[in-house]
Amino acid sequence: MQKVIPIFIVLLLLWGCAAHPTISPVPLKEDETRTSITFSFENILPVFVYRKGLSDVSDFGIRVGLPIYGSGIDYSRTVFQRGDFNDIINFAYSLTPNSSFDMTYYSVRTFPIKPGNAFYTGFRAMYIPKGINGNESIRVGALLGLMISNKVGIEMGYFHDLDKGQPIEKIVSMQPENDPRYPAITDFGFPSENSRLVGLSLQVSLSTSIFQKKK
């Protein structure tokens, strides 16, 4: 048992292959704060998220992962607003074995008759300067998400490495077919910075208010 626990911890650290911000698609007011717990495909362990409104058009977020992977910071700003539609740009940094910088442009629709609900799509550019294998990765892709009552958020997306990743026409192949110079799998059997798995994102965010007892 004493040998199994350290091995399990190492597996958790290495599997945290990438991370992305958990935004607030429903704009925050100045000084308004929200906290949540995010579970994602990218990280086996959950991440605590804190967001605070800097003004009526901007907010920032801090993520704290266990033990540290999945941690990061980000900044969001509404660049266009018309009625129930908002365009938001977000800049983020995430700490993982494949630490990355993200820039994401979101198009969000809110629903005044159902406050706290929102649907959004987005385009993301992702840059890994030096991943677990020592290579860089530049990725682009799309995402979509849903927020329900400011309590439950669901987001999924895929961001492809067009230069060193698996050829796009073979993206659904059962086996990785990367250039041998940029292998998809490390010597330890985990996804490298050039693996298609690193570009896959699926996260579920739960507001901490869900876990609070009603008075």
- 4 versus 102: the higher-pLDDT residue is 102
Position 4 confidence tier, pLDDT thresholds 50, 70, 90: very low
pLDDT tens sequence across 46-98: 999 999 999 999 999 999 998 778 899 999 999 999 999 999 999 999 998 89
Position 214 confidence tier, pLDDT thresholds 50, 70, 90: low
Full domain range(s) for residue 71? 4-211
Cβ contacts of 113 within 8 Å, gap of 6 or more: none
Q: pLDDT value at position 13?
A: 43
Q: What number is the average pLDDT over the span 149-155?
A: 95
Total residues belonging to the chain:
215
Mean pLDDT, the chain, whole residue set: 87
Q: pLDDT value at position 182?
A: 82
Please state, in angstroms and rounded to a whole number, the distance separating the CA atoms of residues 46 and 183.
28
Q: Which of 4-13, 56-65, 163-172 has the highest mean pLDDT?
A: 56-65
Position 140 confidence tier, pLDDT thresholds 50, 70, 90: very high
Please state, in angstroms and rounded to a whole number, the distance separating the CA atoms of residues 207 and 65.
16
Assess contact for 182 and 149: CB atoms under 8 A.
no
Q: What number is the average pLDDT over the span 166-180?
A: 79
Could you give the number of structural domains in the chain? 1
- 214 versus 159: the higher-pLDDT residue is 159
